[in-house]
Amino acid sequence: MARTTTGIDVGCTTAIAIRGQFKGGTFKVSDFSADPVESPDIAKAWSALGRGFKLGQCCIGLTGRDMNLRYVRVPRVPDWQLRKLMRFEVEDVGGQSGQEVASDFNLLPELPEIDGEDVVVLAMAKESLLDEHAEGLAKAGGKIDSFSPNALALYNAWLRFGVIEGDTVMVANIGSENTDVIICRGPDLIFARNLSGGSKLFDQAIAQRFGVSEKKGEEVKIQYATLKPGARYENSNQEKASRAIAGAAGQLQSLLQSTVLFCKSQLKIQGLKIDRVALCGGGAALNGLPAWLGSTMGVPVELFDAFRMVETSGLSPEAADRLEEYKLEAVTALGLATMASDPESFSVEILPGAVRRRREFWGGTAFLAAAGILALGYVTWNAMRMSSELTGMQGQVAQLERKLKKAESTHNETAELLKQNAELEKETLNYQGLLGAGEQLARALEAFHTSMPEEYWLSRLESRWTFDTELGVERDLERPILHIEGHAREGTNQMSVLHEGFLGSLDAKIPQVIMKSAPSYDGSSFALDLTTLSIPDPAASDESAENVEEGL
């Protein structure tokens, strides 16, 4: 059942809280606040959070260096064994960092590229980070529901409020110092990651170029800077600021491209290709950024407006105006609130040790004691009730036995039909193979008649029903393959040139042919395998990425 919750994203420049409930396929916002943060210190950032409404149960977003997302490929094992494997993984990381680590995990949707294994996304955060946020939340009057990575909150926002198609999409939330990125294939999450680097790169570049503070550099960026391809500058300040951020824009692009490479490396999906990019976060508002990234990455890039699908009629006019102003920055907070409110959402809930132990007690030991007392009373009552129902059940058993006999008869008839269908399918495939082999042989002989050099003669021609991966025919998908052997007239010069011309002529005259061939070492004979019936593989071969490991 959906519940009302508050999603909170406390960043380096803005503290955002959004409260509402996911119900009937949409999220209904009841309260919203967005307040500037003057210091990156977590305690001071929490003190900036607005007091305009009661926070209640809160889901708090995590990002930055003290939070890490790791991907582990594991065999498909029972849940208890999976929890044990993840506990070992967390203990290993915690031992290396020398600090207490809180964690949670979830399974990614099954990936067709990975057969027989599951991919686990494991989220880990330092207990010290959770304690700082918990202290700030307590002072603000809220209660902990859970902590969750901003990247997974971004996924929930995209899944509920994005334009979902069958393509592969990268969604990036560009903050001040961190960028959270997800990669989705249709509605399925493939990869999520938090990166160090954000819109502050542009502020620093302008501050250095103009010799001003970073805060002033941000003001100059907002007023003058643009990344629009082919933009005409209205004055020298605009030109100077725009040229200053070009390098920072390249750094941001590299961060996004590195995510694709890291995904390929971590999950071993070498054919991954991004079809489009969606941007949100305060950094996405930079003038011309989507168009610039689109031109450099070679894919469509647009802003992600999650709130066009959100019900905001319950907000006051002031809060509604505030939300419209901060809608790009509020996407993560929206995802956090949606995740906590919707029980069917994809979630990873990181909890401090004390909170987790308390929940385990009330959800385990105390519950079992109460359940035992209730169970004893239930057994006594149920025994009395079952005694009175026994007679009625005996009559139902007789009726069900009759239905069972009828169902068994129908089942046997169906099984016989399935057996006959399998035999017919086998015969059909044989006929198709014979037809394809005959047509392929006819085309090949016609091409040999007009293309084979006078110096060649054939000594062997054979059609085989087999597989050959070099010809694009995989095992279990066998196709007819022609095997030809021949000889060349003694004394033939430039055998390799003559043979290449022969193959080129065959390629031009036989549609969709795939061949492998080479003359013998002494040039006196040749062998040729060809097929026109292979199944093409559409997957592009990408370069392997270096394996990047990030620790806490």
Pick the CATH number of 442-531 from 3.40.50, 1.20.120, 1.10.150, 3.30.1360: 3.30.1360
Per residue in 143-164, pLDDT (tens digit) is: 999 999 999 999 999 999 999 9
* Cβ-contact 242, 224 below 8 angstroms: yes
Domain 163-303 is of which CATH architecture? 2-Layer Sandwich (3.30)
Is the whole model's pTM more than 0.75, yes or no?
Answer: no
Which alpha helices (DSSP H) does 298-330 contain, by range?
Answer: 317-325
Half-sphere exposure of 398 (CA within 13 A, CB side): 5
Q: 140: closest CA among 15, 4, 280? A: 15
Q: Mean pLDDT lowest for which of 84-98, 115-129, 329-343, 358-372?
A: 358-372
> Residue 461, by phi and psi: left (phi above 0), alpha (psi -120 to 50) or beta?
beta
Tokens of residue 458, six digits: 């054939």
CATH number belonging to domain 1-156+311-363: 3.30.420.380
Task: Round to whole Å and give the CA distance between 244 and 314.
Answer: 43
Burial class (CB in 10 A: 0-12, 13-18, 19+), 115: exposed
pLDDT at 542: 45
Dump pLDDT digits (tens) for 268-291: 888 889 999 999 999 999 999 999
- Residue 193 above 60 pLDDT? yes
Per the DSSP assignment, residues forming a β-bridge with 461 are 484
- Type of residue at 445: L
- Per-residue pLDDT at 541: 40
Nearest CA to 122 among 87, 155, 96, 98?
87
52 and 31 Cβ atoms separated by less than 8 Å: yes
The band of 548, judged by pLDDT with boundaries at 50, 70 and 90, is very low
Q: Return d(Cα 441, Cα 191) in angstroms, integer.
A: 48
Residue that has been written with the tokens 């294939």 in this structure: 185
pLDDT in tens, 453-506: 888 888 899 988 889 888 888 888 888 999 999 888 877 777 778 888 888 888
Average pLDDT over residues 216-231: 92
Give residue for tokens 């941007």.
279
Across the range 173-177, mean pLDDT stands at: 94
| Cβ neighbours, 10 Å, residue 110 | 13
Given a cut of 80, whether residue 361 has pLDDT beyond it is no
Burial 414-447 (b: 16+ CB within 10 A, else e): eeeeeeeeeeeeeeeeeeebeebbeebeebbeeb
Which residue from 139, 122, 124 is spatially nearest to 42, judged by alpha carbons?
Answer: 139
Asked whether the predicted pLDDT for residue 369 surpasses 80, the reply is: no
User: Of 365 and 385, which is predicted with more confidence?
Assistant: 385
Among residues of the chain, what percentage have pLDDT more than 90? 43
Phi, psi of 19 (to 5 degrees): -120, 140
Residue 451, pLDDT score: 84
3-state SS, residue 191: strand
Beta partners for residue 57, in sequence order: 143
Q: What is the pLDDT of residue 371?
A: 66
pLDDT in tens, 97-148: 677 889 999 999 888 888 888 999 999 999 989 999 999 998 888 899 999 9
For residues 32 and 47, is the Cβ–Cβ distance under 8 A? no
Three-class SS of residue 225?
coil
C-alpha–C-alpha distance, residues 7 and 453, integer Å: 76
Q: Which of 12-16, 92-96, 309-313, 483-487 has the lowest mean pLDDT?
A: 92-96
Please indicate whether the domains covering 1-156+311-363 and 163-303 agree at the CATH topology level: yes
Residue 431 parent element (H or E): helix 365-451
Q: Where are the alpha helices (DSSP H) in 164-213?
A: 200-210
Compute the distance between CA of residue 306 and CA of residue 182 in angstroms, rounded to an integer.
15
Q: For the chain, what are the domain ranges?
A: 1-156+311-363, 163-303, 442-531
**Side-chain half-sphere CA neighbours of 185 within 13 A:** 14
The percentage of the chain sitting over the pLDDT mark of 70, rounded to a whole number, equals: 90
Confidence of residue 191 (pLDDT cuts 50, 70, 90): very high
Which tokens sit at 172? 């990036």
Q: Check: CB of residue 335 under 8 Å from CB of residue 154.
A: yes
Q: Binning pLDDT at 50, 70 and 90, where does residue 399 land?
A: confident
Mean pLDDT highest for which of 160-169, 418-427, 517-526? 160-169
Query: Quick one: pLDDT at residue 543?
Result: 45
